[in-house]
Chain A
Amino acid sequence: NAGVTQTPKFQVLKTGQSMTLQCAQDMNHNSMYWYRQDPGMGLRLIYYSASEGTTDKGEVPNGYNVSRLNKREFSLRLESAAPSQTSVYFCASSSGTGGLVDTQYFGPGTRLTVL
């Protein structure tokens, strides 16, 4: 049982390049999330998927797109990377049945640098 996995672990991009961050969970969870973590700002929600086939914007969606490929996988795409997107990206999942007290389970993160 691997929990939440993310690939790649590290990535360096040049401004304007595109890339997709992959996330998968093996806990049969309904809900999945993408966050970015920046120093002194905590975690901020980029996009959210309550269930397979649905996605919703979070606090900071500009410059990103997501795809909930199936129940297990939730990918985050940067179409034209900018230096402001240099950050650590975390994927998380939750059962989606716990309502307001649902626990989120996090992946190990992807460290992205945009030059």
Chain B
Amino acid sequence: AQSVTQLGSHVSVSEGALVLLRCNYSSSVPPYLFWYVQYPNQGLQLLLKYTSAATLVKGINGFEAEFKKSETSFHLTKPSAHMSDAAEYFCAVSLHGSGNTGKLIFGQGTTLQVKP
């Protein structure tokens, strides 16, 4: 079975500080991983995705994530937090298997608070 676990339901950083949101996956097959962001009262939008082309993936708004097979991790980082980064962030994995193409399993979500 495939799953993702996000460590920390709530992360608080100061403006200008490093953002690190943690995601670990469990998968017996090569995983395809996503980070989505949800701003208050909006739907989710894609930040970035890992497609096995490169282990370091760059996304929108200065975010990036590194796929580490040895650690089964896909942590999301941003060097310098901005107030506009305050949102909920979801890690997700694509489900393998016949009939599952396109289906995602989401983590529990991490709320990022940015303090002035």
Contacts and interface: CB of A to CB of B under 8 A. Distances in A.
Given A100-B94, A102-B102, A90 B44 contact: yes
Interface in B13-51: 32, 34, 36, 41-46, 49, 51
A90 to B, nearest CB: 6
A103 B46 contact: yes
B43 A96 contact: no
Contacts of B45: 105-106
Contact of A108 (B43, B49, B94, B96): B43
B90 interface: yes
A48 B100 CA distance: 10
Main secondary structure of the interface of A (DSSP, over half): mixed
Interface of B: 9, 32, 34, 36, 41-46, 49, 51, 90, 94, 96, 99, 101-104, 106-109
Interface of A: 4, 31, 33, 40-45, 48, 50, 56, 58, 90, 92, 94, 96, 98-109
